[in-house]
Amino acid sequence: MLLTVNLGNSNMRFGAFKSDEDIVSWIIPTKPYRTEDACFEEFEGMYEAFGLKKEDITQIVIGSVVPPMTGAVVNSLKRIHKIEPKLVDRNTPSGVKHQSNQMGTDLYANAVAAHELYKGKKIIIDFGTALTFTGIDEKGETLGVVIAPGIKTALKSLIEETAQLPEIELKAPEKVLGRNTVSCMQSGMVYGFTSFVEGMIDRINKEVKDDCFVVATGGMSFVYAPLTDKIHIQDALHTIKGLRFLSK
């Protein structure tokens, strides 16, 4: 069984592929950064809760955008499974072609999954620590990337930089115009970012002269995808599916 690990700035998403469609997935917070021994202790017992055994794992692929944690995760999993994990990055061969020497592994994996799974021009929106838009054409050529502050990143900044704004649940309020502090903030964070996403999709479509197929992924994608018909599919496991393709 293949184990994929997407090591991101906020969370590590693990995915155990029983088959292409049968995927057992869970997340563990990336911070605070841990030592190899701490990762070993945390990871060794994580499978039982998901009906898995560590002996089920026969292959491991890891993508990371967090260099301080990469070695600890790679080495701890190697100790647990007695398997050499495959560490992939933007230089790992695939059907995707790009000219950037700065593309993050997560964005590359997103592009790879979109190229393998969907036809035509695509936009992959990743609602993670950063809010990113990656464009890729039907031939696997990357068209470019947009990077903006992520939803939780923006909300945290808003709360920390103001004296009286509270923590809120990120959900759509009943009306756009709020009548109390919480609903006002929810409108700005949910409807405001939805409008931003829709506007970026329109601008990208205009620039590439096509109506792109839009995939939403990342931890907050489930909040925003249902609010717009410009997002065609929401898949929280999209990035680890890209890692699976890179493992081959």
Q: Which residues are tagged catalytic?
A: 106
Whole-number Å distance between alpha carbons of 124 and 102? 17
Strands, DSSP E only, in 46-103? 59-64, 86-88
Whole-number Å distance between alpha carbons of 158 and 167? 10
Determine the residue type at 57.
I
- The pair of three-digit structure tokens given for residue 65, joined into one six-digit string: 């955008």
The closest alpha carbon to 239, from 113, 56, 127, 87, belongs to 113
Whole-number Å distance between alpha carbons of 103 and 130? 14
Q: What is the CA radius of gyration of the chain?
A: 19
